A = this chain, B = another copy of it.
Amino acid sequence: MKISAGEIYKSVELIRRQSPVVHNITNYVVMNSTANALLAIGASPVMAHAEEEVEEMVNIASALVINIGTLSERWINAMFKAARQARKKGIPIILDPVGAGATSYRTKTSRDLIAGEPPTIIRGNASEIMALYDDKSKTKGVDSASSAEAAIDIAGKVSEIYNCVVCVSGETDYIVDKEKIVKIKNGHALMPRVTGLGCTASALCGAFAAVEKSAFAATAYAMAVMGIAGEMAAESAAGPGSLQMHFLDCLHCLCEDDVSRRLKIED
Which A residues fall within an 8 A CB radius of B? 21, 27-33, 35-36, 39-40, 44-50, 52-53, 56-57, 60-61, 69-74, 99, 102-106, 139-144, 192-196, 237-242, 244-253
Contacts and interface: CB of A to CB of B under 8 A. Distances in A.
5 contacts: A35-B195, A47-B69, A50-B71, A53-B104, A240-B249
A50 B72 contact: yes
A249 B239 contact: yes
B39 A35 contact: no
B57 A103 contact: yes
Given A30-B32, A50-B72, A52-B72, 14 more contacts: A32-B196, A36-B194, A36-B195, A39-B192, A39-B194, A44-B142, A46-B141, A47-B69, A49-B72, A50-B71, A57-B103, A239-B253, A241-B247, A242-B248
Contact of A29 (B47, B99, B250): B47
Given A196-B35, A245-B242, A70 B49 contact: yes
A99 B48 contact: yes
Number of this chain's copies in the complex: 3
Contacts of A142: 44, 46
A35 B44 contact: no
A53 B103 contact: yes
Contacts of A247: 241
B29 A32 contact: yes
Contacts of A52: 71-73, 105
B106 A39 contact: no
Nearest to A27: B47
Nearest to A246: B241
B253 A249 contact: no
Contacts of A48: 70-71, 99, 103
Nearest to A254: B239
A185 B32 CA distance: 27
Given A36-B240, A39-B240, A195-B36, A140 B60 contact: yes
A99 B60 CA distance: 12
A142 B241 CA distance: 25
Contacts of A248: 239-242, 244
Contacts of A252: 193, 239-241
